[in-house]
Amino acid sequence: MTRLSKAGDVLRQTPGGHVLFCDDVRQEVNGKFIFIGVYTGEMIYGGDFPVVIPQLFACVTYIERPGDGDDLATLHIDGPSGEADVKWFEGQLPDMQSHRHVASENLELDSDADAAMGIYWNITLGPLTILRPGIVKVYVVKGGQKYRIGGLRIVSAQVPNDTASN
Burial readout 69-89 (b: 16 or more C-beta within 10 A, e: otherwise): eeeebebbbbbbbeeeeeebe
Confidence of residue 56 (pLDDT cuts 50, 70, 90): very high
Of 55, 76, 129, 68, the residue nearest 100 (C-alpha)? 68
Q: What is the pLDDT of residues 112-148, one digit of tens each?
A: 545 677 888 999 999 998 888 999 999 999 999 999 9
Structural domains in the chain, sorted by start = 14-156 (2.60.40)
Task: Give the pLDDT mean for 62-68.
Answer: 83
DSSP helix/strand/coil, 66: helix
Q: For residues 138 and 76, give the distance between their C-alpha atoms in angstroms, rounded to a whole number.
A: 6
Residue 155 in contact with residue 130, Cβ under 8 Å?
Answer: no
Using the predicted structure, report yes or no on whether residue 110 has a pLDDT greater than 60. Answer: no
Confidence of residue 1 (pLDDT cuts 50, 70, 90): very low
Using the predicted structure, report yes or no on whether residue 58 has a pLDDT greater than 50. Answer: yes
Residue 104 in contact with residue 29, Cβ under 8 Å?
Answer: no
What's the whole-number average pLDDT of the chain?
80
